[in-house]
Structure formats: C-alpha cells, structure tokens
Structure 1
Amino acid sequence: MAPPYSNGYGYPSSGLPPSSSPSYDYGYRSNNHNTNNAELSSICDDILSGVRVMLEQLWGYINGPGRQMAWSLAMKGAYQLKRNLTRRRLLSFPHLLVVLWMLVMLWGERWVFASRVRSCDWDHWEDWPVGATPHRLIFVADPQIIDPHSYPGRPWPLNPLTVLITDNYMRRSYRQLQQVLHPDTVFFLGDLFDGGREWKTATGDFNDPKWAKGHRPAEEQKHLKEWHRKYGDDFWLREYGRFGKIFYDPWNIGGVFPSAGQRGRKLISSLPGNHDLGFGAEVKVPARHRFSAYFGETNRVDVIGNHTFVSVDTVSLSADTSSVKDQVDLQPIYGPAQEFLKGVKATKRRAVQKEVRFWRGDVEDLTFEQKVEDIENADFSNLPTLDPGENAPDFPTILLTHVPLHRDPGTPCGPLREHWPPAKPPKGQAGPVIPDHRNAISVSGGYQYQNVLNLDDSIKLIKSIGNVIHAFSGDDHDYCEVVHTPEQENVREITVKSLSMAMGVPTPGFQMVSLYNPIDAQGNPLPGTPKTTLQTHLCLLSQQLSTFMTYAVLGVLSVLILIVRAFLVPILNLQPFALDPIHHSPSAVLPIFKAKTEADENGSARDIKPTSSGTSSSKFPSARVSSARTRGQSISNRPVSPNSNAKGGKWGWGQNSSGNGRGPRIEIRRDAYYDEWKPVTRGPGRRRNGNMLEIVGREAWTTCWRVVWMVLGFFAWLAYKG
C-alpha cells in the first residue's frame, strides 16, 4: 500500500514526475543547498569549539601553572640580578678586564679612524702662498661593496659578517673623512659595486652574447643561473640604497657651505668601473643605462677650483680596440664615449666660460634674441654660443679614468706602492730599477677586466682632451704614480688606493688633492700664480688585520690571566667570582618526620632499633629524636584507633603506639641533608668539602664566560651602530 502522500507510483500527489514539476525541482535544490549549509555550519562549529577549548585550556594554564612558573622565573631572575649587582661583584677583576676590552674595541672600531684621518689634515702638507684659498678635493676609488658576487662559495654566517665588517670600515672612514677634513668635492673613480654588472635590469637582454660563451671562469659559471634567478633590478636598487647609506647620508657632516672662496660643495660618483658595467666588448649596455640613470652621465666635464675635470667611461671606450670588433657590432658600447671625445674641447671651453661669467657676476646662460622668422628663411649660422673659440683661455685639465693609462711592462710605481716596494738599485745607480715587474702594474687582462688601457686608447684620450696636466685612475686597488712617455705628453698619473679593506691591500686609503689657480676676469692666470696648481697627498687608513690581531692577542692573554687567577683563588684565599648555586627547598615528596615506631601488619607497634649510637637505621644521613613540638611541624594530641591504619602508611605520619599522640619521632633535618653536598664557605676562598680542581674549574669557566659574552655583546653593539 502506497504512503498517504503518494499516488502509488512514487510521484508526488500532483500526478507529475519530479522533472515535470518546477516547484518540486526548486524545492529539491533548496533542500540540498540547506543540507550543505548545515554540514558546513556543523564543521565550522566543531572548529570553533575546538579552538575555544584550546584557548580555555591555554588561559587556564596561563592563570594556573603558567603564572606560577612565570612568577617563579621572575623571582629567580630578580634574585640572581640582586646577587650580581653587589659592589663586590661589579668591581671584580673580570669586569675590570671587560672595561679594558671596551677601551681597546673603542680604539679599534672608532678612535683609530679619527686618529688616522686627523694626521692627514690639509695643514700638515699643503704648501701654498700666504692668503691662498685652495679648493680641497678627495678621490675615493673602488669601494666595491661586497655582494653575492664577491664570495659565492662562502657560507651564510660568514658572508653577512664580511658584508657588515667591510661596510662598517668604509662607513667609519668616510664619516671621519667628512667630519675632520671637510672636503669641498669628492670624486669616486668607479667600481662602486662588486657585482653590479651581474644583476639584471628591469628591461633589456642580460645574457652573455653567443660569441662570449665560455669566457666566464668556472667558479662564476656555476652560479650564473642562481644569480639571474635571485638577483635582479630590485636587488640592485637595494644595493644602491646601501651605497647611499654609506657615502651619501654622511655628506652633510662635512658642512653645508664650502670653504672660503669656493663656489660650492660637490659629490660626483658617475664614473663607472668594470665591476659596474663590464669591460670592453662585454660591457652590459642595459647596466650602463641603469647606472647613468642613478649616478649621472658617465662622460662629463666639471669645472672645479679653476681646473677642468674630464671624466671618461674608458671601460666602454675600450670596446673600440677590442679583438672582436670586426666580428660583432660594438658601436652601441663605445659610440657614446667616442662622440663625447669628438666634442670635448668645445665642451671644456663652454664650461670654462660659464665659470668665468659666474665670477664676473654675468648671466651664465645664453641670451637669445626674440624675433619671429619664417622657418625657410631663418639663419642658423650665427647662433649665440658660450664657446669663444680655440684661442680662449683654458684651465688646467685633469683626466679621470677608471682603468689606468697604458705604460710599458715593468714600469715602477714608486715607493708608496704597498704590494711590493721598489727593487733596490745597484750601487752607483741613482734612478729606480727599470723594469721592476714586482713594483709595477701588470700589463695584462682577462674576463671583464684589463689592468691598463691599450696604447691607442690612451693616446686618443690625451690628444682629444688636450692640456692634460694630471690623470687619476682606480681599478688596481693599490697606489701607483708614474710619469708617462712623451707619446702621452708626459702626463703624470696617480692610481688611487681602494677605500675598502677587502680589496687585497692591507692598508686602504684615499687621495687628497689641493687646487689653487687664481684667475682674472677673462679666465687667465693672475701674475704670481704658482707654476704647479695642484698638490696631492696619500692618506692611509688603519689596517683592520692589525686590529683583529690585537683582539686575538688580547683574547689569548685574557684567557690565560683568568685561568691563573682561578688557580690563585683557593691558594691565596682570594674572593671568588663564581656565586654559590641557589638551593631550593626540598621536594614535598620526601618526608620531614619519621615515626619512632612502626606498625606491623596486625596494627601493633614495634620499636625501631638504632643501628649505632646516635644514628637510626633510616637511610637519611642525619636525624634527631624529638619528644615534643619539632621545628616546622605541629604534633597532634588526637588519639589514634589501634585498629585503623594511619594515613602515612608504614611511615605512620603522626602515629603513636600508645595513642596519646606524644610519642617521640625522628626529624629529618634539612640542614643536615643538604650540608652533605652544599659546599660551606670557610674563609673567602676555601670550602670545607670542595675539591680544589672543581673550584678552579668553576672559577675559570664563570669568569671566562662572563668576559666573553660581555665583550661580544659590546662588539655587536658597535657593529650595529656602524
């Protein structure tokens, strides 16, 4: 028989199948939807219930055992702090040793930089006429900030530590340079980054060209995919910010205003190096576009201190003399530098006239006549220009290039070169030994570097620029001073030391230049102007390796002194530095009292016979008989039923065989139990039951650990502050 809501065929009472009844179909879907919502709601309720239970348990733990544990730890910490802040403890020998360490580290991490830079003050070496107002300039070469390209195989903890130490060294040196010397101008001579050429740009192809495959060293080749995957334009921008924090942020320490008689202060860091862009035919053009966008035009002319400084991107110019020039179109690489050199003399004249106009009080920019002309009939032949022609006054010109100019192999660099001093000349010879390959810059090259420019490029530079009296370069990391051949117009060149401690030169440094060239209203030198308008001085910084060696020697001496002192503590009864351990109250699991009598299985009591006079058979080391009230406990006079077993079990807590509650009991003395293992001080340095070697070991460990963590903490703070 069909159910009452059915018509007997399994369909609804309307007589239509479910598919023919829209209302039934919709109702089915709604019911299914409600079922899913109910299941989802049930799951959410279960999750919320579980979370609620966990939170309640956590809150209960925090309010209960957690709060007790936190309070216990806080009290222990406060008590330990109180024990350490006593006068005897603060003025102890290990802390005096820590003070010595702090003074040494302040010297090695702060004071030595100021001392070295102060010894290079301008007044120590400048030699100008009385009343002269020279322009003071500093060259910084090859900071080459450390990045993943520098030490690709170095493990994680060591590599960040290297970055921190080298950055702090340059930061401290440069801050003192600004604070003590107050230079009017600072020039950077390239290689601002170490791996700048490797980090991809946002746009442009950054892969090595096909003809250059296999040029990379094997050590770099195996890291190339990782570099391209992990280090792109965002990483380069972070490195740019890091460079700015080291060298741009401290700029105002040197003062906002220039020294007397100078036009203004400048910081110019637009000269690129081979680590920034690459070298020659393998220069990364996208990397150069990015570099010039953030640092300025790579080929430029600046008039500073009545001298003309010409900066040339020689790493790109070298592509014009590359061995693959005939095989590959390298014009996009060397083209901008060549175009610059073609018009550099006119650019120099215009810059000089602009400077002279400023000192005369004239308008520096050009004034054009305002008129309306037909474009077809307009005359463009006589446009106003700042270029007065080839016969106009010219300032002494200084060439700036990252790569040193060409020289013959073995050309000595002079006595200030640190790698190798000059070879001793034979008896009777006054001049230097030539060739001197150890004292010279190696005339060689390799992947993405060349130690000196090709001869053709050097001659092109000097001839194109004209009136070059001096050249400054970088790249080699060490000092080198040469006077070039007449073919290169006898130009004197100084290769500037690297400022970084990580460039293979023990003593970093920078080059100081003092410029004095007084001129008249037309730009000509005044009568009595010194024949030499430029003076230079090499400023050497601290040797960080020597500083670390000082730390190492002092560390060994500190350990030896503390060990010797530890041996003298028990011998000479010296005041120990190590504190006695904190003894906590005994656990409640152990009994405080033991009944004099024990009940047998029938409830009757029996006496406990002592095994020897004055001692009981108990396993506890010390006890005494107490017939009345004992320390820390009260004795109950309540009678005990002989048929009932006391709650203490066989120990018979508060139990008495006579039932009067006044029977004698054994008290387990806390002091007797703990005195067996707690050393008791007898005199300032000797302990009654302590072993001498244990005392020495504990004292040596405690003092050494205290000195180590305090010294390392202070060093970490100095490193964090920079």
Structure 2
Amino acid sequence: MAPSYSNGNSNGYGYSYGSSSGHRQSATTSYYSTPYDEDYSSRDHGDFQSICDDIAAGAKSLLRRMWAYAQGPGRQMVWSLAMRGGHQLRRNMIRRRILSLPHLLVVFWMVVMLWGERWTFSNKVRSCDWDHWEDWPPGATPHHLIFVADPQIIDPHSYPGRPWPLNPLTMLITDNYMRRSYNQLQQVLHPDTVFFLGDLFDGGREWKTAHGNFDDPEWAKDHRPSQEKKYLKQWHKNYGEVYWLREYSRFGDIFYQNWNLGGVFSGPWQRGRKLISSLPGNHDLGFGAEVKLPVRDRFSAYFGETNRVDVIGNHTFVSVDSVSLSAGTSAMKDRVDLHGIYEPVQQFLGEVKATKRRAVQRELRFWRGEIDQVTFDHRVEDLDNADYSRLPTMDVGEDAPDFPTILLTHVPLYRDPGTPCGPMREHWPPTKPPKGQTASVFPDHRNAISVSGGYQYQNVMSEEDSVMMIKSIGNVKHVFSGDDHDYCEVVHSDQKENVREITVKSLSMAMGVPTPGFQMVSLYNPVDSQGNPFPSATKTIQTHLCLLPNQLSTFLTYAVLGVLSLLVLAARAVLVPVLKLEPFALDPVQNPPSAVLPIFKAKTETDDQDVYHLKSTSSATPASNLPSARTSTRPRGPSLSHGLVAHARNASPKPKGKPAPGKWGWGQNRGPRIEIRRDGYYDKARNDIWKPASRQRSTLGLIGREIWTTSWRVVWMVLLFFAYLAHQG
C-alpha cells in the first residue's frame, strides 16, 4: 500500500478515489478524521464508559446487598427492636405505674413550669393595667404609650469567654424572657404607641459593615479593653454584615412580629398605633468620637432617622441621637475631625423648633379634616418676576400654638454627682437620713447614677450638651432616657428649666438588675381646633413603672423545689422495703421477646423419665408464652416451687437412629434438651405469661435503685417539658 504522501490510492491530503471500476468513492478529509483520531476518540470514550459501568455495577451491587439485608437480618433487627420497645412500653403503661408518685411529681413540675415560664408574666402585666393607676376626668380618652429601654439582645460580644453551650442557652433564655414580657405587654395593655430608647443590640457597633472603613482609628486602638482586644480579629472575621442582618431579624422576631398581638386598631380618638425604634444607643453605634459613620448609616437605613419629631397624643416627641451629639464636646474634638459625627445632630437641633411647629400644624389639619400637606396655587409666573417670599408653609411663625414637648435621649442628662434617684431605684435604695432630718440625703452616691465614663460609654451627657438640647428644643416638659438599666427619677436644675427626667428600666433580665420593667405613660391633652389647650388641662402626662418577674427568683424557686422533690423520692425509696410497697423500678428482662432467636415448644419425653407438669396447663406449654429458654445437656436439679423444670431423673441411654414419632429435633439428629429457666415464675393474672423471678436483692440495693430510677424519670420528663416551653418561646 502506498504511503499517504504518494500518488497511489490516496493523495497527500488524504482524499480517497475510486478503484479500477473508474467510479470515485466518497472522499474524507484527514484533518477532521484520521484512523489515529478515531482510535484515540473511541478509546477515550471506552474508558469513560467503562468507569461509568463500574460505578453503576457497584451501585447496583450495593443496593442489592442493602435490599437483601433489609429483607433478612435488617427486618429481623427492626422487628426485634420494635418487640423490645413494645414489651417495655407494655410494662410501663399500666395504671399503677402511670399513677405512681414520680409521675405525679412530673405533673406538679409541669404546673410549676407553666407558672414560672408563662402565667407569672401575665399576672405581673395585668397588675399594671391602665385603670389601676390612671386618674383622668370622666370621659377622658388618653393615649396609651409604653417606653422599652435597653433590650440589648445578647450576642457573642456579651460574654466572649463563655463556652459554646452556655452562650446559646443564655441567648435563648433572655430572648424568651423579653418575648414573653412583650407579648403580654401587647395582649393585656394594648398600647397605642411603643417607643424604644436605644441599645437594641449588645454588640451592634462591633459587627463589620459591608461598605466603608470599619477599622478603629489609630488614636482609639488603645482605648479598647484588653479582654476585647484578643477577640477583635475573630469578631471582624466571623461577624459582619450578614450576622448583623441575622441579629436584626432576631430583634424583629421578638418585637416586630408580635406587634399585632395588641390589636389592629388604636384606642378611641387616637390616630392609629405606632412602633418607633430609631433612637440609637452606645451599643448600637458607639459613643462620641468613636462612633463609626458606616455603622450609623446602617442603623438608620433599617430603623429610621435617628433624629426625628413625632406628634402623639397632642404631645410633641423629639428624639435626639445623643451618642453622636456627644462627639462635639469630647476631648478628641480638637485633635481629629469629628464634624461628620456631630454636625447632623446639631443641624437638627438648630431647626427643631420650626420642625415642631410644622408637625403640630399637620396634626391639627388632620383633625380639622383638611389636607395635612402644603398646597400651591396653580398659576404661571415669569421666573424673573416671581415672588418667593409668600410661598405656602406649614410653619405659621413663633406665635403658633405648641404642644407639650417630651425629649427622648438614650444617655441621661447631666446632673450633679450624688443626685439621688429616688426610692424606686432597685440596685441601691436611698440612704436613710440621719435622725431628725426629713429631707433626703444629698449627695447620695450609692442611690445616684455615677457621673463617669469609659470605653464607648458615658453614664450622663455633658452639662453643655444637656443645656443645649433643652434650650434648642423649647417647651420641654418631660425627659425619658435609658442606658442605666435601672429606674431613676430626678428634677433638674433651673438651668435645664426644672424638667423632670425618668430613666427607664431595662426590659432584659441580663442587664444586672434583678427585676426588669418598662415605663407606662398616659397622655391626655384636650385642645381646640387651633391647638390651644383647655384651661382645665393642667397636667397632661401620667407615668407608671411596671415591674416584670424576677427571673433569678424563679430559678431559685426551681432549685428549692428540685431539692424537695429529690427528698420526697428518697423518702419513698426508703419506705418501699419497710412498708412492702410496690417498687417503681422494673426488674430487668433476662431474655426479652425477640424475633431473631427461635423459640421452641417444650419437649415431651415418652421414655422412662420423671417429668414434672404444671397442674393448670397441658403437657406442652405454648411457645408464645415462653419468653426465654435455656439449653442444657445435663440435669439442673430440683425445680422451684413457683417455676417449672423439665429434666430427666435417672435418664437411661437412648437408642441411636431415627427419632420416634412425635419427637422433634434439629435436622435428622435429636436436638439438645430444653428446660425453662429455673428462676422463672408463672403469672396467672397476665394471660399465662412466664416472667423471670425477681432476684433477691439487698435492702440498700433496692433503695438505691428506686432513688435512681424515680429521680431519672422525673428529671428527663421535666427537662423535656422545659425544652418544649423554651422552643415555643
């Protein structure tokens, strides 16, 4: 055959022509297909197909083995386990065990758990109902408002050194506490408005943002406590924008999702229900010069504008981002540029009086049935001759009527060190005055909010910022703040217009105050169509502190009742052998029913043997009534008075060969001799069931076993019920 480059049957380019017949056959280009390429392709395809065939064959073989196992030993194992479980359940589900003392204790503990985890919240909130403390004239229609301070949901920042199981458990318990409190707050009190006073998160300022510079500035890196420095890299790596969004969703699951439990409609003559949670705290943004702008932008994007004016119940509420405002008076103001932090707040305060007037006019327009927005005349004017001085506006001037103003700030206003907080402060009650003194002790440092600060916090604002806020807002009649976690009520100095301030308790049980709470506010300010108050309206606001359950006291109650329960079970265990009581602990099953091992009928011998028969049964006991059997090739001795033993006395040798008719064996050979366990007894009350006899135990062993069995039964059932309540929230 000529080579591919010759002038033989194929030319140099691989075209094949016809043979001696003179007809040209189909030509094929060797560039696209050559014998070598075809061989390589087919070989590669064959290898791949071989691999697929091997995998398919292996999978089929595995499935066949699994099916064979499921049809044989697997089915027997499952059936055996089901038989064992059913047998154990049958032993337990009898009336004397169901109505026993351990199960009665479990029922008692369920009632205790329902009280501690559900009913006590309802009782506490119901005791604070509005009609228990409101004092308005007959026919009044007050606006019901509630302040919630420092929920500060627990996260990895809260207890960085705490091991894994404890930290999630702490988060679960504290979340459930706030959820139950808030649910009862909505269901029982039906507030028209709920305000949050900051610190919604505990570590919100630490979770890295998706955009912007999140690193601490060089001058602030040494400010962080040493115990936090070693976790900083881990926080920035593991807890970023995605984690913060999960925390936002977690906050919403507790508070937003359950908002409608308070109903859809507001009280009579109110403009609807509101929930406002845009006021930030130092745990949300940081404090002063160390507030990070990307963190604040993220907070305002999800919760709303941090500086705002709301007219509610004929009162004007002014929310001020005091943690950002404090940057303007910080020690770092002259060293670094902080304008981006405090200037938006100062600009808001510079315009807040006009903002208040516009908000009041919109409210009055609504009640008069007018359009609550600015309307412009439809006319065409030349731009050069247009008069811009008479544009319509909601601000009718400084002489316009104003509603009583309530200032909301996360950080309390400045007060002199040692200013007492009053008798309702839980952490440190007031110091008793000396004998003969009627006025309260001043200064009383233990009853006061400490005038101090530290990393990312300051207990009170500077006096300069406090005075500026009061003067800029004007007509401030009341201040509500958070941050301190405990209740504090003070009347400020003349410089701050003698305004009364209440620092609201934290709603969380993890904020260092044993008894959490929230502040209830009733607003009633009747006005005419122009916003002027009636002469009889001298007091327009009433407040009440509502205390929630002391969870530490609840846990202490659980501990005391737990010890008493163990003592009761121990006393019962001691009385079992003394009074011959029925033991709670079941005897262990020597050979429980099984579908894996065969169970045979008892043998019947026709030779010369002495066979003992039970009088109430036939010579052959049904196999279904034999829970266990033991094989033996030698006599076992005399039978027990309550059992049955089948064995031969003076057994004579047996002839070899085929067994006689009626005999049975394994295969063609006689099987081993079978006897019923000599430690069994016959139960006439349980359908002829053979049961293993109780082994003789010592009194101490019986008592110990009773204590362990009954205690374990109560513990796991109670913990399971507690887990169910915790899962339900």
TM-score of the pair, normalised by structure 2: 0.86
Cα shift at 1:257 = 1.1
Aligned residue in 2 for 1:99? 107
Structure-1 residue corresponding to 2:699: 692
Aligned to 1:514: 522
Q: Distance in 2 between matches of 1:640 and 1:392?
A: 122
Superposed CA deviations along residues 640-689 of structure 1, whole A, max 9, x for unmatched, are 69xxxxx999xx9649xxxxxxxxxx95521316579xxxxxxxxx9672
Corresponding position of 2:717: 710
8 Å CA contact retained: 1:593, 1:653: no
The runs of 5 or more residues in structure 2 that have no matched partner are: 17-28, 609-631, 639-644, 660-664, 683-692
Structure 1 242/624 Cα, relative in aligned 2: closer, same or farther at 3 Å? closer
Paired amino acid for 1:265: R
Report the Cα distance in structure 1 between the residues aligned to 2:170 and 2:591, rounded to whole angstroms: 46
* Alpha-carbon distance in 1 for matches of 2:635, 2:174: 65
Whether the 8 Å CA contact 1:594–1:667 is kept in 2: the answer is no
CA distance in 2, matches of 1:419, 1:455: 25
- Whole-Å Cα distance in 2 between the matches of residues 371 and 560 of structure 1? 91
* Counterpart position of 1:661: none
Relative distance call for 1:231 and 1:617 in structure 2 (3 A) is closer
Letter in 1 for 2:284: D
Q: Kindly tell me: are residues 14 and 335 of structure 1, through their superposed partners in 2, closer, same or farther at Cα, counting changes over 3 Å?
A: same
Identity of aligned residues (%): 67
For residues 569-627 of structure 1, what are the alpha-carbon distances to aligned partners after superposition, in whole Å with 9 as ceiling and x for unaligned?
A: 12111122122323327977999989999xxxxxxxxxxxxxxxxxx994845565549
Does the 8 Å CA contact 1:405/1:458 hold for their aligned counterparts? yes
Separation of aligned partners in 1, 2:484 and 2:716: 40
CA shift for structure 1 position 453: 0.2
| Closer, same or farther: CA 625–367 of 1 in aligned 2, 3 Å | closer
- Distance (whole Å) between structure 2 residues aligned to residue 342 and residue 96 of structure 1: 68
Q: Does 1:296 align with 2:304?
A: yes
Distance in 1, matches of 2:586 and 2:202, equals 51
What secondary structure, in the 3-state scheme, does the structure 2 residue paired with 1:222 have? helix
Question: Which residue number in structure 1 is paired with residue 34 of structure 2?
Answer: 26
CA-CA distance at 1:549 after TM superposition? 0.7
Aligned residues: 669
- TM-score, normalized by length of structure 1? 0.87
What residue is the counterpart of 2:687 in the other structure?
A: none
* Among candidates 200, 207, 226, match of residue 199 of structure 1: 207
Report the 3-state secondary structure (helix = DSSP H, G, I; strand = E; otherwise coil) of the residue aligned with 2:501.
strand
- Equivalent in the alignment of 2:372: 364
Structure 1 window deviating more from structure 2 (540-549 vs 360-369): it is 360-369
Superposition CA RMSD, Å: 3.3
CA–CA distance in 2 between the matches of 1:515 and 1:625? 95
1:548 corresponds to 2:555: yes
Give the structure 2 partner of residue 256 of structure 1: 264
Q: How does 1:104-143 map to 2 (within 5 A)?
A: 104-143=112-151
Cα distance, 1:229 vs structure 2:
1.3
Q: Is the contact made by 1:620 and 1:673 (CA closer than 8 Å) also made in structure 2?
A: no
Show the 5 A alignment for 1:380-459. 380-459=388-467
Q: After the TM superposition, which residues 604-683 of structure 1 pair with which residues of structure 2 at under 5 Å, given as runs? A: 618=634, 620=636, 625-626=647-648, 639=657, 654=670, 668-672=674-678
User: What residue in structure 2 maps to residue 483 of structure 1?
Assistant: 491
- Write out the 4+ residue segments of structure 1 that deviate beyond 6 Å after TM superposition: 11-22, 585-597, 635-638
AA in 1 matched with 2:677: D
- Whole-Å Cα distance in 2 between the matches of residues 50 and 592 of structure 1? 47
Distance 2:646 2:541 in 1: 98
Deviation at 1:489, TM superposition (A): 1.0
Q: Which residue of structure 1 lines up, in the alignment, with residue 78 of structure 2? A: 70
Amino acid at match of 1:669: E
Q: 1:148 to 1:20 in 2, by over 3 A?
A: farther
C-alpha contact (below 8 Å) 2:423/2:430 kept by paired residues: yes
Q: Does 1:48 align with 2:34?
A: no
Correspondent of 1:350 among 329, 350, 358: 358
Q: Which residue of 2 aligns with 1:501?
A: 509
C-alpha distance 625-550 of structure 1, shift in aligned 2 (>3 A):
closer
The within-5 A match list for 1:314-333 is 314-333=322-341
SS of 1:223's equivalent in the other structure is helix
Task: Note closer, same or farther for the CA distance 1:319–1:624 as it changes in structure 2 (3 Å cut).
Answer: closer
* Matched residue SS, 1:294: helix
Change over 3 Å in CA distance of 1:66–1:688 after alignment to 2: closer
1:273 has 2:281 as partner:
yes
Alignment partners' CA distance in 1, 2:518 and 2:462: 26
Does residue 314 of structure 2 align to residue 306 of structure 1? yes
1:12–1:581 Cα change, 3 Å: farther
In the TM superposition, what whole-angstrom CA distance separates every residue of 1:24-50 from its partner, at most 9, and x where no partner exists?
982212212211221222222222212
Q: Aligned match of 1:37 in 36, 41, 45?
A: 45
Q: SS in structure 2 opposite 1:343?
A: helix
Deviation at 1:321, TM superposition (A): 0.6
Distance of 1:617 and 1:208 partners within structure 2: 86
Q: 1:357 corresponds to which letter in structure 2?
A: R
Alpha-carbon distance in structure 1 between the residues aligned to 2:304 and 2:14: 77
